[in-house]
Amino acid sequence: MSRRAGLRDRDICFLLLQEIMKEHIIRLAIMLAYYVKAKSKKRIRGDTALTYELVSKIPNQEKHLSRLIGLNDVDCISNLRMDRRTFGRLCVILRERGGLVDGRFVTVEEQLAMFLSILAHHKKNRVVRFDFWRSGQTISHYVHAVLGAIIRVHDLFLAKPQAVPDDCTDQRWQWFKGCLGALDGTYISVMVGSEDKPRYRTRKGQISTNVLGVCDRNLNFSYVLTGWEGSAADSRILRDAINRPHGLKVPKGKYYLCDNGYANSEGFLTPYKGVRYHLKEWGPNTARPQNKEELFNLRHSKARNVIERAFGILKMRLGILRSPSFYPIRVQNRLIMAAFLLNNFIRMEMPTDPIEQQLESMVEDSGFGLDVENDEFVDTVECSPQWNASRNALAESMWAHYLNNN
């Protein structure tokens, strides 16, 4: 009896051990299943997962793009700085002439909208990524693609300067026959490395690049030179511009209006030094011009003010020019070029410029230019007695006409 009882105890122990092992095996199997599932979520990159991700994002992407360019011109101008017609024209030009193509999942329209959002409001990559439901790498890739396409078609966006005709009736320009427009330099803040900051520091202590801009009478830029450090003098930059193979071309007998930061030389007419010049010095409570020099400076200031207004419109339109951007300096210079070009295109295509209207309500490493068909161009910016005599003759004719009519 004791032996049989002992066998029964062993059988019971064996059965209990089997049950315990089964429970452990089941628990291990469950744990292993959860582990494999978790690892598969981290490692999955197949077509099924990609398709699911795109399908879930597409409605949001289409909705955001439709709100930007598909509803009305007001929202399009507020966000992209141009109306829907101008936006469509720009897409066609960048496709046909700039070499911009649709990506696998991103159309040219969305690529351009990303780029304009950055230029207009100086948005960071992570902000644009959130707005457009794209990855940061996608945003960066297409921003550089659009930037390159705009630079390639710069000849379409730059204005061709037209000299003031002899029969001009505009009171602002009728005294400056043969004038092509005005030029000046403007400081645009940039971000550079510590070793380069002394070269980019202006006389006011800001880290900026000195950009030479040339515009015509209609506030459209005809030449832009970027890349110079903020410490560089305006006259030095102008000398570099006219000596470049595809630089600023000033035909003999034509000229631009400049301030006293430049020399009064052939092709560049400056005001008299030591004589009141700026428009704020000619307010309603100030005396009238007392001599030919003051009269010349007053009319010169009224005409040359066109370049100041052009810079003001440009910086009001595109916020990326109002603060330093976190790009390499070479990319920053290219973005500045693109900003000048897009500003021209918007002004040429849109029937009315809201930025210019707003301004009027507030106040009463390479250069791009268009070649001018002429065999002889100005090749120096040194002051000359002949050009000083020409300025004196013009001032005397102004003064004589002024005395006869007053």
Same domain membership, residue 206 and residue 141: no
Q: 323: alpha, beta or left, given left = phi > 0 and alpha = psi -120 to 50?
A: beta
Lowest mean pLDDT among 149-163, 265-279, 291-305, 366-380: 366-380
User: Do the domain assignments include residue 223?
Assistant: yes
Same domain membership, residue 189 and residue 305: yes
Same domain membership, residue 146 and residue 197: no
Q: CA-to-CA distance for 163 and 176, rounded, in angstroms?
A: 9
Q: Quick: pLDDT tens for 303-334.
A: 999 999 999 999 999 999 998 888 899 999 99
User: Do the domain assignments include residue 381?
Assistant: yes
Contact 218, 181 (CB under 8 A): no
Same domain membership, residue 85 and residue 15: no
Residue 121: CB atoms within 10 Å: 16
- In the chain, the amino acid numbered 251 is P
Distances (CA, A) of 167 to 70, 171, 173, 174, 352: 46, 11, 11, 8, 27
Residue 220 has pLDDT above 50, yes or no: yes
Predicted confidence at residue 24, as pLDDT, reads 54
Predicted confidence at residue 23, as pLDDT, reads 56
Same domain membership, residue 124 and residue 198: no
Q: Quick: pLDDT tens for 233-264.
A: 998 999 999 988 888 999 988 999 998 888 88
Same domain membership, residue 236 and residue 142: no
Same domain membership, residue 199 and residue 91: no
Q: Quick: pLDDT tens for 336-357.
A: 999 999 999 999 988 787 777 7
Same domain membership, residue 195 and residue 131: no
Q: Quick: pLDDT tens for 29-68.
A: 555 555 555 555 444 444 555 454 555 666 777 777 777 7
Residue 166 has pLDDT above 50, yes or no: yes
Q: Is 192 helix (H, G, I), strand (E, B) or coil?
A: coil
Same domain membership, residue 220 and residue 75: no
Better-predicted residue by pLDDT, 137 or 61? 137
Mean of the per-residue pLDDT values of the chain:
81
Same domain membership, residue 191 and residue 111: no
User: Do the domain assignments include residue 305?
Assistant: yes
User: Do the domain assignments include residue 53?
Assistant: no
Same domain membership, residue 311 and residue 208: yes
Burial class of residue 160 (count of CB atoms within 10 Å of its CB; 0-12, 13-18, 19+): exposed
User: Do the domain assignments include residue 39?
Assistant: no
User: Do the domain assignments include residue 58?
Assistant: no
Q: Quick: pLDDT tens for 9-23.
A: 666 555 655 655 555
Q: Domain tally for the chain? A: 3
The answer to whether the pTM exceeds 0.85 is no
Residue ranges making up the domain that contains 226: 179-404
Q: At a CB cut-off of 8 Å and minimum separation 6, what does 12 contact? A: none
Contact 82, 76 (CB under 8 A): yes
Give ∠ CA 301-345-300 in degrees, rounded to 5. 10
CA neighbor of 144 nearest in space, from 130, 125, 170: 125
CA neighbor of 178 nearest in space, from 167, 195, 164, 197: 164
CA neighbor of 186 nearest in space, from 294, 81, 318, 381: 318
Contact 58, 335 (CB under 8 A): no
User: Do the domain assignments include residue 257?
Assistant: yes
DSSP string across 67-81: HHHTS-HHHHHHHHS
User: Do the domain assignments include residue 46?
Assistant: no
Same domain membership, residue 184 and residue 142: no
Q: At a CB cut-off of 8 Å and minimum separation 6, what does 61 contact? A: 110, 132, 133, 134
Residue 403 has pLDDT above 90, yes or no: no
Q: Is 255 helix (H, G, I), strand (E, B) or coil?
A: strand
